[in-house]
Copies of this chain bind each other. A is one copy, B any other.
Amino acid sequence: MTTGQCTRHPFDAVLELEFLDGRGVRGRTVPEYANMVGPFGGATAAVLLRAIEAQPDRVGEPVALTVTYAAPIAYGEFDVDVDLVRINRTNQHWMARLTQGGEMKSTAMAIFGTRRQVWSDTEEVMPAVGEPHAYPVAVWPPLVRFLHNYEARVVDGGPPTGEAAPSSVSTFWVRHTPARRLDFPALAALADVFFPRIFARLGRLVPAGTVSMTTFFHADAAELERVGEDYILATARGHRFAGGFFDQSAQLFSRGGALLATSNQVVYYKDSGLQ
């Protein structure tokens, strides 16, 4: 696409919502964010977060987001029902359900909170890596369209090469292409940017899909604004692959070493060839 000043970034198309009566919103899948089957799960997480963030009585910023992927989302329109489940002094509990033709496709639970001036510290240290341009740009399979919205520079664990590996770690410098500022929905999507860790272990693509993903947001809006369009460092790995389900954890750092978010997902997999 061109990046003329009147051209909308495709990620902003992902987040575009039509407001219905009450708390409901209507959205539409965006071809640029297609995955192999249905839309990119990160785009689904982002639009569910956005549907909550856009509510007029929403207070504070995202603290936690859990999204379950119950059924494949068809390309086209979808509806999101949003509920404010509980209001506390420093946080709000929200739920959202994404349906198509009345069929439940995805659910979300989100905590929004107001950050305060209290003792704060980052305990997790960013991996010691070189500057982004020291690393090659990942070349993704053309079929996985959503990945072409990201420029990933591979520090460790690039796209599967056909060789099995003992480690599932991938570490990338990553930013949007074309450039786009980092906001909470973009961060929610980036937490899911990693291909399933089973591909890294087996060295090949097998049927796999996220079942549930939980992201904790550590950064506030001012920190995300400071990141702007810059690279972030994202690292992911699995801990156990057991009988058709594995976990995958991810950490996302600003270039300056701020831990922006941590994310954990459980993924369904088979070990047969990709169908």
A residues near B, CB below 8 A?
63-64, 66, 68, 70-71, 85-86, 88, 90-91, 93, 95, 104, 107, 109, 111, 113-124, 166-168, 201-202, 211-212, 214, 216, 218-220, 237-245, 247, 249, 251, 259, 262, 264, 266, 268-271
Contact = CB atoms under 8 A, between A and B. Distances in A.
Nearest to A166: B123
Q: How many copies does the complex hold?
A: 2
Given A71-B88, A118-B269, A123-B167, A212 B66 contact: yes
Contacts of A111: 68, 211-212, 266
B244 A218 contact: no
Contact of A266 (B64, B90, B219, B271): B64
A114 B268 CA distance: 11
A270 B64 CA distance: 18
B104 A86 contact: yes
A59 to B, nearest CB: 14
A240 B124 contact: yes
B211 A241 contact: no
A199 B106 CA distance: 36
B115 A242 contact: yes
A264 B214 contact: yes
A64 B247 CA distance: 10
Nearest to A238: B123
A241 B123 contact: yes
Nearest to A97: B85
B113 A93 contact: no
B63 A241 contact: no
A216 B70 contact: no
Contacts of A122: 239-242
A48 to B, nearest CB: 13
Given A245-B115, A247-B216, A268 B123 contact: no
